Every structure is written in structure tokens, then in C-alpha cells.
Amino acid sequence: MTSSGSSNYPPVKTFFYPYNIQWSGWIVEKTDNWMVMLGTGILLISLVGSALGGQPDNGRPPPSGGDYHFMLTTAKKTDTGTGQENSEREHGMSVCVTNLVSFSVTLTWQDEPANRPGLTNQPDELGLTVASPAGESRSDKKSASQGSVKLDFAFPVTDKTAASKTSKAGQGPWTINVEIGICGDQTPLIPGPFRTVADTGNAYTLEITYTYYEKMKGAM
């Protein structure tokens, strides 16, 4: 009877144990697949975001550390002086930049007014001579009560030539000479009661302007 009872009621563990193992395996397998899909999606989103966010608004990649351009820059210097009649004054000027495009010097003067009524101050004659570091010299003079003389030097430099090869033309000491010539005296409008007053010199102003291509960081 004991034997018969044993054959009619099989052990419960023999029936449910394999089923539980198979069901648990299905859950693990499905969970792994979902984790792989989720990880792949996150990776794709990151890659797309990096690709879009790494571009600036203009669609070009940001400039690298070696990007640069050449910008036309202007420098100015003003000097003043006073000279006696029939004399010269020298003004030194040194240019330290490269890729010089132009160099200009302008001399201006204003004759002083007559020191009393009935007199007229005659024009003064002033001249300008400028020599480059290479020895090229230019000069001009003018007689006027209010006058100016300008001398220009030009060099064949552009942003493209500056980028391909540095130009040192015009670099170094420039010589600037101001000549005070005949200074017109103050003469009477009506000869007789008034005497002529001598004009012994004049004051002047020098304005030096030069342009050059300066190397700047970053792309245009």
C-alpha cells in the first residue's frame, strides 16, 4: 500500500523545479536585451548631440590654435618744435614693426599774428626732409602764413604677401629734418609812423602716421 501510494503522487519538486528555471531564464534573457537596446539608444543620442553641439552657428568648426589673420593697423605720433630763422631741427623716429604699408610725415605751422595794429606779418618759409632706413630721401618746402607740407612713402605689402613672407622694408630709424627758412617780418600797412618788426622764427607741429599689417589671433 505504501508502494502504491508512492506511484500515484509524484514529488511536487520534480514537476515545478524545471519550470521555474526556464521561466527565470526567460526573464534574464529579456532583461539583458532591453538593457542593450537602452544603452545603444543613449549612445546614439550622445553622438548626435556632440556632432550638432560641436559646430558653431556659422557651420564652421571652431578655429584651431594655429589660425590667424593680418589686420591693417594705423599708428600715429605727434611732435612739436620751435626753430630760429635759417636753421634746421632733426627729429628721430624708429619703426619697429614689420609688414609696413605706408609712412607719412606732415609738417604744419601757423605764423604768429602781428604784435600791434597797423602791421602785417609776412609769410614764413618752412621745409621738410624725410629719409627712410634704406636711404630713400624726399623733401619739400612752402612759404605761407598758415601752411603744411606732407611727404609719403609706400611699400608693396598686402595681407596676402604678409601671410606668405614677412616684409622688413621700412623697419629701423627714420630721419626727419625740419627747415626754418626766411621768416617774413611784420611790416607796416602805411610806411612812416610804424617800424618793421623782425620775425626771428616759428613754431611747428609734426604728425607721423604709418600703417602696417599686424598678425592677429583667430580666423577672419
Hey, which residues does 149 pair with through a beta bridge?
Answer: 107
Range of the domain at 22: 2-53
C-beta separation of 115 from 197 below 8 A = yes
Yes or no: say if 124 and 113 are a contact pair by the CB < 8 Å rule: no
Say whether both 99 and 173 belong to one domain: yes
Cell numbers found for residue 23: 521561466
Q: What is the pLDDT of residue 56?
A: 41
Q: Which cell numbers hold the place of 158? A: 598686402
Tally the domains of the chain.
2
What is the Cα–Cα distance from 153 to 126, expressed in whole angstroms?
Answer: 20
Is residue 129 predicted with pLDDT exceeding 80? yes
Q: Please report whether residue 119 resides in a domain.
A: yes
Say if residue 36 is in the same domain as residue 82: no
Tens of pLDDT, residue by residue over 8-67, are: 544 444 444 343 333 334 333 444 555 556 566 666 665 545 544 444 444 444 444 468
Higher pLDDT pick, 192 / 131: 131
Strand order in the sheet with 146-154: 68-84, 201-217, 100-110, 146-154
Residues 8 and 103 in one domain: no
Residue 180: pLDDT above 90? yes
CA angle in degrees (0–180, nearest 5) for 179-184-186: 145
**110: in domain:** yes
* Per-residue model confidence as pLDDT tens digits over 153-167: 999 999 999 999 999
Q: Residue 202, Cβ neighbours under 10 Å: how many?
A: 23
Residue 62 is assigned to a structural domain of this protein: no
What percent of the chain lies above the pLDDT cut of 90? 50
197 near 48, Cβ under 8 Å? no
CATH number at residue 195: 2.60.120.380
Q: Tell me, yes or no, whether 84 and 193 share the same domain.
A: yes
Model-level pTM? 0.65
Task: Tell me: do 119 and 164 sit in the same domain.
Answer: yes
Q: How long is the chain?
A: 220
Domain annotation covers residue 79: yes
219 has a pLDDT exceeding 60? yes
Does one domain contain both 206 and 97? yes
Q: Does 110 share its domain with 213?
A: yes
User: Mean pLDDT over residues 102-125, rounded?
Assistant: 85
22 and 104 inside one domain:
no
Return the closest-CA partner of residue 130 out of 212, 211, 203, 206.
206
Residues 148 and 113 in one domain: yes
